[in-house]
Amino acid sequence: MTPNDKVIYMDNNATTRVAPEVVAAMMPYLEESYGNPSSMHTFGGQVGMAIKEARRKVAGLLGAEPGEIIFTSCGTESDSSAILSALRTYPEKRHIVTTRVEHPAVKNLCENLETITGHKYRVTRLKVDGEGMLDMAEYEAALTEDTAIVSVMWANNETGVIFPVPEMARMAKARGILFHTDAVQAVGKIPIDLKSLDIDFLSLSGHKLHAPKGVGVLYIKRGRLFVPFLNGGHQEHGRRGGTENVASIVALGRACELAREKMVEENSRVKKLRDKLEEGLLAEIPKSILNGHKTARLPNTANISFEFVEGEAILLHMNQHRICASSGSACTSGSLEPSHVLRAMGVPFTAAHGSIRFSLSVYNTEEEIDFVLAKMPVIIESLRKLSPFWKG
Ligand code: PLP
């Protein structure tokens, strides 16, 4: 039996529970205030005011101005919008700098830009070391006159490793190059103050910070040119056509407000739980290895490889105890290929295959950590007994 026989949800980098306060904030915009914010009547106009308020709250969390925030449908749309806008703004520039460990939202877009356009664009993918960190000298050398945009994630979804984005943005700005960061995993987990940074575009996604799925944000620094990805009506000041997903936008505003109020205190509690889980697993299970930098890492994420066992098999056994985690990113699970992130870090095949990502949230408890710490050694030992390679 799990504590209270509930699901133990440790897959928060895949998606998060919508906070009860957030559900309460959005419900009136599904039930009563269903007007179109573009309508002339007061009924619609009030909805427009709610969007304005949400924009203010998102900007507050990011240290941005409300006019720098546009609402999108997801993190993926925000990423595409930023990168494609830069290429359209500077059609003479054909080079993109990114990393080998980006989420498919950026990775696959860059691949398509190379192949579908018949190699019109050139992409430099920065290497990472064994801890998932970048080489800043390689980055500096990659920036050229031809570079239209740099797109580097702030925090990695699989390992939680945090890149030195403020410094990288400064270096891009010094060379007059636009800088985009996919901050989908970082927002709400680490403090961000955009007014003091040289970031031109930033993407975030509602469902990673206790708002619903299907809403995201693209931050566009004041004064930057922007070519819309979705053309249509005049919504979002002409920068993103399409009737607004009002209830989810209101929800995202409330989630950002909560994150701003509680982030520091809650993240330190989450980090203590994560550290207890991580240290316990590494101590109790032989041949278990932490993937990613020990300290430059999100407070909620622990990616651990259990050598000589298959991640999928571990997940199935965990599932029997109602423990939810993930092997690789949610988007790549289902394929038996080891994660491109762990491969880029040089994690050996035997370890990459047995990697599990635990990603916690404010809703996890110490009781749950104790339960997982009691179950995992038993699961790993039973699976290793079946492995012809295990000589334990
Ligand atoms: N970027 C990162 C780093 C992510 O972790 C994710 C989702 O897992 C995305 C982008 C895509 O966000 P969305 O699901 O909102 O499209």
Q: What is the pLDDT of residue 227?
A: 97
Whose tokens are 């290929």? That residue is 337
Question: Both tokens of residue 240?
Answer: 């993103």
Q: Is the residue at 40 inside a domain?
A: yes
Same structural domain for residues 101 and 195?
A: yes
Cβ proximity of 361 and 16 under 8 Å: yes
Residues 12 and 25 grouped into a single domain: no
CA–centroid distance, residue 76 to ligand 1 (Å): 6
Atom of ligand 1 nearest to the CA of 207: 15
* The ligand 1 atom nearest the CA atom of 213: 15
**pTM for the predicted model, two decimal places:** 0.96
Looking at 202, 230, 258, which one is the last position of a domain?
258
3-state secondary structure of 83: helix
In a domain, 33, yes or no: yes
Instruction: Judge if 272 and 231 occupy the same domain.
Output: no
272 and 209 fall within a common domain = no
Q: How confident is the model at residue 331 (pLDDT cuts 50, 70, 90)?
A: very low
Q: What is the pLDDT confidence band of residue 118, given thresholds at 50, 70 and 90?
A: confident
pLDDT for position 337 = 75
Residue 389 lies in a domain: no
**pLDDT value at 4 more than 70:** no
Cα-to-centroid distance, 387 and ligand 1 (Å)? 34
Tell me if 82 is assigned to some domain.
Answer: yes
Question: Per-residue pLDDT for 235 more than 80?
Answer: yes
CA 330 to ligand 1: nearest atom: 8
What CATH code is carried by the domain that includes residue 304?
Answer: 3.90.1150.10
CATH number at residue 70: 3.40.640.10
Residue whose CB lies within 8 A of the most ligand 1 atoms, among 13, 15, 185, for a mutation test? 185
Are 254 and 329 members of one domain?
no
Q: Are residues 289 and 177 in the same domain?
A: no
Ligand 1 centroid to Cα of residue 205, in Å, is 7
Written as six digits, the tokens of 296 are 């430059």
Q: What is the pLDDT of residue 392?
A: 74
Q: Is the residue at 3 inside a domain? A: no
Local confidence band at 2 (pLDDT 50, 70, 90 cut-offs): low
Residue 206 and residue 107 share a domain: yes
Query: Higher model confidence: residue 344 or residue 332?
Result: 344
Task: Specify the residue with its C-alpha closest to ligand 1, atom 13.
Answer: 75
* Mean pLDDT value across the chain: 95
Res. 33: pLDDT tops 60: yes
330, pLDDT greater than 80: no
Contacts of 275 (CB under 8 A, 6+ apart): none
Q: How far apart are CA 298 and CA 152, in angstroms?
A: 16
Spatial neighbors of 341 by CB under 8 A, at least 6 apart, are 101, 132, 156, 158, 159, 328, 329
Q: Which atom of ligand 1 has the smallest separation from the CA of 205?
A: 15
- pLDDT band for position 390 (cuts 50, 70, 90): confident
More confident residue, 371 or 308: 371
Residues 273 and 221 in one domain: no
Same domain, yes or no, for 248 and 272?
no
Domains held by the chain: number = 2
41 Cα: distance to centroid of ligand 1 (angstroms): 36
Asked if residue 390 belongs to a domain, the reply is no
Domain enclosing residue 117, as ranges: 20-258
For residue 272, is pLDDT > 60? yes
Residue that is last in its domain, among 258, 281, 308: 258
- Percent of the chain clearing pLDDT 70 (strictly above): 96
> What mean pLDDT is predicted for residues 299-319?
96
CA of 158 to the centre of ligand 1 (A): 11
**Residue 229: pLDDT band by 50, 70, 90 thresholds?**
very high
- Can you tell me which atom of ligand 1 is nearest the CA of 155? 3
Which amino acids bring their CB within 6 angstroms of ligand 1?
74-76, 103, 105, 153, 157, 182, 184-185, 205, 216
Residue nearest to atom 12 of ligand 1 (CA): 75
Instruction: Concatenate the DSSP letters of all residues of 203-231 into one string.
Output: EEEGGGTTS-SS-EEEEE-TT-----SS-
Ligand 1 centroid, distance to 53 Cα (angstroms): 25
pLDDT reported for residue 328? 65
Q: What is the mean pLDDT of residues 214-228?
A: 98
Same domain, 238 and 277: no
**pLDDT confidence bin for 49, thresholds 50/70/90:** very high
Active-site residue, 331 included: yes
- Which of these, 321, 306, 358, lies nearest to 11 by C-alpha position? 358
What was the pLDDT predicted at 3? Answer: 56
* Residue nearest atom 10 in ligand 1 by C-alpha distance: 75
Domain boundary among 258, 280, 302: 258
What pLDDT was estimated at residue 387?
82
Q: Residues 237, 323: one domain?
A: no
User: What pLDDT score was predicted for residue 334?
Assistant: 53
Query: Tens digits of per-residue pLDDT, 122-177?
Result: 999 999 999 999 999 999 999 999 999 999 999 999 999 999 999 999 999 999 99
Q: What are phi and psi of 184, to 5 degrees?
A: -55, -40
The answer to whether the beta carbons of residues 224 and 64 sit under 8 Å apart is no
- 263 Cβ neighbours under 8 A, 6+ residues apart: 188, 189, 191
pLDDT given for residue 159 in this prediction: 98
Residue 391 is assigned to a structural domain of this protein: no
Position 355 scores a pLDDT of: 96
Regarding whether 207 and 179 lie in a shared domain, the answer is: yes
Q: DSSP of 114-167, one letter per residue?
A: HHTTTS-SEEEEE-B-TTS-B-HHHHHHH--TTEEEEE--SB-TTT-BBP-HHH
